[in-house]
């Protein structure tokens, strides 16, 4: 607070916006704490991983290498064919889910975007629906095919 009062006393004739613009300007030295903190964080992670690798036990036995899930003993081979429709449905879900996320910035700023923003969102929705109709017509949602 003293720095702001001191700066305000020195610049009585200048406008307030100019004073605050001076306060917001940053120099490369103001980023030094962020660089130091990032370096310390990366160093800590590297040190922790390195020490655990060097000091940890290295006993590999058949029992330790065996897969284990939920206390159930493994049965057979895990590599069996899975229908492509499963992967297609997963990819389509991610695709359409990510597209829906793009509506949030528009919902927050729709007043500021005006007519130009509305036209952009209408084009986006049109492309979104065209892709959805294309996938539907190709039968991607039909599990019986």
Q: 68-112 pLDDT, tens per residue?
A: 667 676 677 767 777 777 888 888 888 888 888 888 888 888 888
Q: How far is C-alpha 79 from the geometric centre of its chain's CA atoms?
A: 31
In a domain, 93, yes or no: yes
Domains: count for the chain: 1
In a domain, 144, yes or no: yes
Phi-psi label, residue 129: left if phi above 0, alpha if psi -120 to 50, beta otherwise? alpha
In a domain, 6, yes or no: no
Residue 131, token pair as written in the block: 């892709």
Instruction: Calculate the average pLDDT of the chain.
Output: 78
In a domain, 13, yes or no: no
In a domain, 69, yes or no: no
Q: Is the pTM of this model over 0.75?
A: no
Q: 104-135 pLDDT, tens per residue?
A: 888 888 888 889 989 988 998 898 889 889 88
In a domain, 15, yes or no: no
Say if residue 144 is exposed, middle or buried (CB neighbours under 10 Å; 0-12, 13-18, 19+). Answer: exposed
In a domain, 9, yes or no: no
Q: Can you tell me the distance from the alpha carbon of 47 to that of 41, in angstroms, rounded to the nearest whole number?
A: 10
Range of the domain at 145: 82-145
What per-residue confidence (pLDDT) applies to 8? 47
* CATH number of the domain residue 129 falls in: 1.20.58.1610
């Amino acid at each position: 607070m003293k720095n702001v009062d001191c700066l305000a006393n020195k610049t009585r004739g200048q406008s307030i916006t100019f004073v605050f613009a001076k306060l917001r300007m940053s120099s490369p030295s103001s980023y030094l704490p962020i660089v130091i903190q990032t370096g310390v964080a990366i160093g800590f992670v590297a040190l922790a991983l390195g020490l655990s690798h060097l000091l940890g036990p290295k006993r590999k036995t058949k029992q330790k290498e065996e897969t284990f899930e939920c206390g159930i003993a493994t049965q057979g081979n895990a590599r069996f064919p899975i229908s492509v429709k499963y992967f297609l449905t997963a990819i389509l879900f991610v695709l359409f889910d990510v597209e829906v996320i793009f509506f949030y910035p528009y919902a927050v700023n729709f007043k500021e975007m005006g007519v130009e923003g509305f036209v952009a969102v209408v084009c986006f929705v049109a492309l979104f629906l065209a892709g959805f109709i294309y996938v539907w017509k190709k039968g991607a949602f039909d599990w019986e095919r």
